[in-house]
Structures are given as structure tokens and as C-alpha cells.
Amino acid sequence: MTAQGRRDPYPLYAALRAHGPVLHLGGQLIVTSYEQASAVLRDPRMLVADRDMLRRQLGPAFAARPSQALLTDSVLNTNPPDHRRMRQLVSGAFTPRRVAALRAAIEAQAARLADRLDSGGPVDLMEEFAVPLPLAVICELLGVPESDRAWFRPVAGDFAGAVEYAASAEAPARADHAPPPLRAHLLGLVPPTAGAPPPTT
């Protein structure tokens, strides 16, 4: 996508939708409506581009890149039965009680961000609100302390470039530099005794 397309992709999206809910483009099938996307995502016959598929389609060098290696080992890019196992492991973080407990923190963060928007001048809503709010929620879920979030946000943003369709030409290199410090930081948040076997007597 061109720089202009990244700044304003909506005319392109409208042009795609004008061709109907499903279209062929560059050897791919693209769905352009919410209903079709929901149906595809819920269809158990559909598979994601996992490690083996990426290796076959794009070559082993691409699949071995740090950002792609981390993604293909995640719940986003695995198929059953590994996907089901991973979902069961993380489901405890998204129980109704846990989500309800986050409500006050999310509302407080949203209020702080909204207060900063009242500057009297033009505001980039994505940069100042839509991006930092979900990132703050992710930090709450992961246990990233407030003091670390100024560091966490740009590094996590660089890693997100690995999955951004409209990413810049420099994004892949930045994404490949992000996994080692992210992994080290998150592992540092895990208590030393977490997952350790009980002491023997």
C-alpha cells in the first residue's frame, strides 16, 4: 500500500466493497462485509496461516524471522489441536469476573485520555486515544506496571507492524527487533516461583 493509501485507506476499502462481499484478488479470496468475515472466522473448516503454511508459501527464511517466529507460535497463528490447547491456557484471564474487574481501570484510563484531547486544537484520535486505550488494557492483563508502559508502548507498536497490512516499508525490520526485549521484559514480570514444582519433603 502506498503512503497515501496508508494515510487514507477508506476509498480503497469502499472500492473493494463495491465488488461485492467476496472477491478474488492476487490469488486470494477477500471478504468485505462483517457478516462474511464473521462466517469465515467461525467456520471450523477454515485454517489460519500457521508455521508450516508460511514456510511452504513464503519460504523458510520468512518463517524464521523473529517477528514471524513469535507470531506463528502464538494462539493467533495456530490451528487445532494446538489452538484449542492455547485457548484453554489463556481463558482464565478472560472470565466474566476478571473482565468485570477491569471495568473501573478501563473507564479511568479512558477518562484520562479523553481529558488530554481537550487541547483546543486538532487531535489525532488514533494516536491519542484509540491506540493507547487497548494497549493500557493489555498491560493490565499482563501485569505490566505503570512505570514500564512508556517503554512498552513503542516496542509493542513496532511488533504490531508484523501484522499490519498497511505497515510502512520499514515496519518489518522494526518488528523483527521487538521480540527479544518484549520476551525478556514479560518473563521478568513472572514471579520466580511461578510454574515451579512444589518442594519435596
The CATH number that applies at residue 138 is: 1.10.630.10
**Residue 101 belongs to some domain of the structure:** yes
Q: What is the mean pLDDT of the chain?
A: 84
**Residue 199 belongs to some domain of the structure:** no
Same domain? For 116 and 160 the reply is yes
Helices 149-160 and 132-142, axial angle in degrees (round to 10): 110
Q: For residue 29, what are the β-bridge partners?
A: 24
Same domain? For 40 and 108 the reply is no
Which DSSP symbol is given to 91?
A: G
Same domain? For 123 and 168 the reply is yes
pLDDT at residue number 14: 92
Same domain? For 112 and 164 the reply is yes
pLDDT band at 165 (very low <50, low <70, confident <90, very high): low
Using DSSP's 3-state secondary structure scheme, residue 12 falls into helix
Q: What's the pTM?
A: 0.68
Domains held by the chain: number: 2
pLDDT band at 31 (very low <50, low <70, confident <90, very high): very high
Same domain? For 56 and 13 the reply is no
Helices 179-188 and 149-160, axial angle in degrees (round to 10): 140
Same domain? For 129 and 93 the reply is yes
- The domain in which residue 104 lies consists of 48-184
